[in-house]
Amino acid sequence: MKFFSFLKLNLSLVVFTLLGWLTPQANAAVLVSSYETNSVLRYDENTGGFIDVFVAPGSGGLNGPSGLAIGPDNNLYVTSARTNSILRYDGKTGAFIDIFVAPSTSKNVPEDLLFGADGNLYIASFNVASSDKSSIPRYNGKTGAFIDNFVAPGSGGLNGPVGISFGPDDNLYVTSTVNNQILRYDGKTGAFVDTFATGGISRVGFADLTFGKDGNLYVANFRTDSISRYDGQTGELIDLFVPTNSAGLDGPVEPIKPPIVQCQHPLNQLLAIIG
């Protein structure tokens, strides 16, 4: 789920992540963050059948779960948007472990998260008071201690980050949603590199993003209800990989390549598997 409080969309979006390491591949599970029920649900990867409630409603203070990530310790990390915190759960049982990143009194809402090659945690932090003051903070992947603002507030025109992904070139790609751009930052220093792609005058509404097996970049466009594909080296638009409203697509948030599966809209439909 992506909260998008800055747009007041109030969408019941969810996030999926595949946990094939938990069980034999035949029984691999898809985890779904359920924003409105403050829980994480588990479904069978092959059949889509409901398995169980993996993280119980409100467990550990979970309130508005959005991004999910599996850490180097094989535990589950969840953004709790309404408490501005990151919670950690046992990757096998779903039991609450701890508050990995403590709640903040700032106006920054964690939208997305991932672990880098350095083992540290990176967060797309959306400042709902002044979106142009948004940043990408970095936290110690073992302790949860704040390290730095890996991408400084407003760097390179950053304005309302929603999705983050490391690319094949090991640089960090960020959707700057308010100004409709995909920005690239040095993967080691966080320094601004360039504006990799732009939505142009169409104002597509970039949400999350991922690189596919073909090396190209796939981006969810929540305003135009589509998935765009960009050349992974030049940033040039190739096509609409998933056309507008295809199969009823409405408000896509995140396209994810296998073995992670995701993309969703208010009626809890699985919309796309990029790979």
Phi, psi angles (nearest 5°) of residue 85: -140, 170
pTM score of the predicted model: 0.80
In a domain, 68, yes or no: yes
In a domain, 48, yes or no: yes
Q: For residue 59, what are the domain limits?
A: 14-248
Instruction: Report the domain count for the chain.
Output: 1
In a domain, 275, yes or no: no
In a domain, 133, yes or no: yes
* pLDDT tens over the chain, length 275 residues: 343 433 333 333 444 455 544 443 435 677 877 878 899 888 887 777 888 999 999 999 999 888 889 999 999 999 998 899 999 999 999 999 999 999 876 778 898 899 999 999 999 998 888 888 899 999 999 999 999 999 999 999 999 898 899 999 999 999 998 888 999 999 999 999 999 998 754 555 787 888 888 999 988 876 777 778 899 999 999 988 877 765 555 554 444 433 333 333 222 222 233 33
In a domain, 264, yes or no: no
In a domain, 254, yes or no: no
The CATH number of residue 90's host domain is 2.120.10.30
Q: Residue 260 half-sphere exposure, CB side, CA atoms within 13 Å? A: 20
39 touches 76 (CB < 8 A): no
In a domain, 104, yes or no: yes
Beta strands 226-230; 237-242: pairing state: antiparallel
**What are the structure tokens assigned to 187, written together?**
């993967």
15 touches 1 (CB < 8 A): yes
In a domain, 255, yes or no: no
Pairwise CA distance, residues 265 & 275, whole Å? 20
